[in-house]
Amino acid sequence: MQTRKTRILADLPTQLLTRPRAWALTGVVGLSLMGVVAAVAVPQQGPSQVPTVAVIETLPPPVAVSSAATDLPFVSELRVQGGDTAQTLFRRLRIDDPQALAMLTESPDGRQALRQLRAGRTVTAVVHGDGSILSFRLPVGQDGERIVLERGNDGRLTLRTDREATTTTLVEMRSGVIRSSLYAATDAAELPDEVANKLVELFGTEIDFHTDLRKGDRFNVIYEAVYDRGAPVRAGRVLAAEFVNQGESHVVVLHQRADKEQYYTADGRSLGQAFLRSPLEFSRVTSGFGGRIHPILNRARDHKGVDFGAPTGTPVKATSDGVVEFAGTQRGYGNLIVLQHRGKISTAYAHLSGFASGLRQGQAISQGDLIGYVGTTGMSTGPHLHYEVRIDGEAQDPMSVELPIANALEGRELQAFRRDTAPLLHRFALLNRDTQLARAN
Ligand SMILES: [Zn+2]
């Protein structure tokens, strides 16, 4: 077996797999997977899912016209039996309402609903003491749709199709092993396309899916699946995923922090295109972004970056993952490094005294990598780093531009994160053990 499919719900009574109910989700949360699961929408299921046969309750009178206690409407449910007709259903539900019967048996919608009467389905009626109906619900079709016959306050009967929201969100877990291609594996695992694409996005900064993928690489993913009346309609959020690439495990989990959901690595670092605010470990801004009198040219000139004062030789770090686009000398910039990042974002580091050894154009750089040293080359009056952020070629203020900020969880937040994610990571570990057992056999 190269591919496993596991639903978390397999831990629960098997009936949940075929008929999700409101408490199915409670069960999932009960597994204490992680905090975000609790945010899943509460599924709604109509009364037709409840196989009750008896009179269940007395409703308060919905219309304040009758004071007779005998006229309190009551709710009845019964299961359709083989051979039932509108007449037999009405009789068994103690409905005495010729007008309602006529509407059901003579209108096209009513007749079509009656043709779909199936033994085992549940009919619900709200009936007055005198036998007249307030409502009558008859399931039709395969997906829980209902025909509803209702009497309004004015006494008029209407017939309509009940299209109540019936979506349920469940949490599913799937695993796969790469044999030929990633998408062949995600297809084999019956992973929805949205989830497969999300995997590529989530691991794209760490794994180059064109060149790094190897046969035997594997993935585990936990995501939400939205069902409408038992049929899957779309995928929701990916809650956690693991990709084992060339023996190395990469894990991401969705975690909520200060009202914001973000993906984090297993050790609590925020994921994706995160930028450090400053390329220097310790620094202070000596000149901000925007218009100023240039110290050498002595005339007004736009300052396209931010200057950080620091001694010559101070290490300069890449503020985000990227590729070296330029490393050399450029007029006023002096020794300059330009890094190209994803999303048409680039960063520039100027007036450097030197470059990290071996730095060359096209080289892949990780966030935090040492790329060069502070200096005062080019048009500069003293040692400092001139730092620029360009989006689509346009210089932006590095201190205020909306960039994804790298933020590693610390202290209590890290503790909470560990507590929330431990069961997930354990689950991944179990799955990996199972996969290895399966492959050994
Ligand atoms: Zn500057």
Q: Domain check: are 149 and 76 in the same one?
A: yes
Q: Domain check: are 292 and 351 in the same one?
A: yes
- pLDDT tens digit string along 95-128? 999 999 999 999 888 888 888 888 888 888 888 8
Q: Domain check: are 149 and 207 in the same one?
A: no
Token pair belonging to 189: 């695992």
383 domain-assigned: yes
Token pair belonging to 182: 């990633």
Q: Domain check: are 28 and 56 in the same one?
A: no
In this predicted structure, the answer to whether residue 12 has a pLDDT above a threshold of 90 is no
Residue whose pair of structure tokens reads 């990469």 in the numeric block: 250
313 C-alpha to center of ligand 1: Å?
Answer: 17
Q: Domain check: are 37 and 78 in the same one?
A: no
422 domain-assigned: no
Q: How confident is the model at residue 164 (pLDDT cuts 50, 70, 90)?
A: low
In this predicted structure, the answer to whether residue 205 has a pLDDT above a threshold of 80 is no
Average pLDDT over residues 326-354: 93
Q: How many CA atoms lie within 13 A of 132 on its CB side?
A: 12
132, 162, 192 - which closes a domain: 162
Q: Domain check: are 176 and 232 in the same one?
A: yes
298 C-alpha to center of ligand 1: Å?
Answer: 14
52 C-alpha to center of ligand 1: Å?
Answer: 76
- pLDDT tens digit string along 40-67? 333 333 333 322 222 232 333 333 333 3
292 C-alpha to center of ligand 1: Å?
Answer: 11
Q: Which of 65, 71, 55 is nearest to 124 (CA)?
A: 55
Query: Residue 385: which residues within 8 A CB-CB, separation 6 or more?
Result: 279, 280, 283, 307, 308, 310, 314, 316, 349, 350, 351, 352, 374
Question: 0.95 exceeded by the pTM?
Answer: no
Crossing angle, helix 108-115 and helix 98-106, to 10 degrees?
80
370 C-alpha to center of ligand 1: Å?
Answer: 20
DSSP 139-200: E-SSS--EEEEEE-TTS-EEEEEE----EEEEEEEEEEE-SS-HHHHHHHTT--HHHHHHHH
225 domain-assigned: yes
140, 162, 184 - which closes a domain: 162
99, 132, 162 - which closes a domain: 162
Contact between 153 and 135 (Cβ < 8 Å): no
Average pLDDT over residues 158-176: 79
Q: Domain check: are 240 and 383 in the same one?
A: no
Contact between 140 and 187 (Cβ < 8 Å): no
Residue 56 sits in a domain of what CATH number? 3.10.450.350
305 C-alpha to center of ligand 1: Å?
Answer: 6
Q: What is the pLDDT of residue 294?
A: 60
404 C-alpha to center of ligand 1: Å?
Answer: 23
330 C-alpha to center of ligand 1: Å?
Answer: 14
b/e sequence 375-405, b meaning 16+ C-beta within 10 Å: bbbbbbeebbbbbbbbeeeebbebeeeebee
In this predicted structure, the answer to whether residue 428 has a pLDDT above a threshold of 50 is yes
Q: What is the pLDDT of residue 363?
A: 93
Average pLDDT over residues 16-21: 28
Q: What is the pLDDT of residue 98?
A: 93
Average pLDDT over residues 329-342: 93
98 C-alpha to center of ligand 1: Å?
Answer: 88
347 domain-assigned: yes
In this predicted structure, the answer to whether residue 158 has a pLDDT above a threshold of 50 is yes
Q: How confident is the model at residue 357 (pLDDT cuts 50, 70, 90)?
A: very high
288 C-alpha to center of ligand 1: Å?
Answer: 8
Average pLDDT over residues 261-274: 77
Q: Which of 125, 184, 134 is nearest to 155 (CA)?
A: 134
Q: CA 346 to CA 391: how far, in whole Å? A: 6
DSSP 344-384: TEEEEEEEESEE-TT--TT-EE-TT-EEEE-B--SS-SSSE
Q: What is the pLDDT of residue 320?
A: 87
How many other C-beta atoms lie within 10 A of the C-beta of residue 12?
A: 18
Q: How many residues does the chain have?
A: 441
Q: Domain check: are 29 and 73 in the same one?
A: no
Residue 374 sits in a domain of what CATH number? 2.70.70.10
Q: What is the pLDDT of residue 47?
A: 34
282 C-alpha to center of ligand 1: Å?
Answer: 17
Q: What is the pLDDT of residue 231?
A: 74
432 domain-assigned: no
Segment among 55-59, 70-74, 119-123, 246-250 with least mean pLDDT: 55-59
373 C-alpha to center of ligand 1: Å?
Answer: 15
441 domain-assigned: no
Q: What is the pLDDT of residue 333?
A: 95
Q: Domain check: are 302 and 386 in the same one?
A: yes
- pLDDT tens digit string along 136-148? 988 877 666 788 8
Q: Domain check: are 119 and 134 in the same one?
A: yes
Q: Which domain holds residue 179?
A: 4-43+167-265
78 C-alpha to center of ligand 1: Å?
Answer: 80
407 domain-assigned: no
In this predicted structure, the answer to whether residue 273 has a pLDDT above a threshold of 90 is no
Q: What is the pLDDT of residue 352?
A: 97
408 C-alpha to center of ligand 1: Å?
Answer: 29
Percent of the chain with pLDDT over 70: 73
Contact between 250 and 206 (Cβ < 8 Å): yes
254 domain-assigned: yes
386 C-alpha to center of ligand 1: Å?
Answer: 4
- Please give the tally of structural domains in the chain: 3
Q: Which residues surround ligand 1, an ion (CB under 5 A)?
A: 307, 386
- pLDDT tens digit string along 360-395? 999 999 888 899 999 999 999 899 999 999 988 889
Q: Domain check: are 56 and 156 in the same one?
A: yes
Q: Domain check: are 295 and 346 in the same one?
A: yes
Token pair belonging to 295: 């110290």
Q: CA 328 to CA 22: how far, in whole Å? A: 63
Token pair belonging to 136: 């009558």
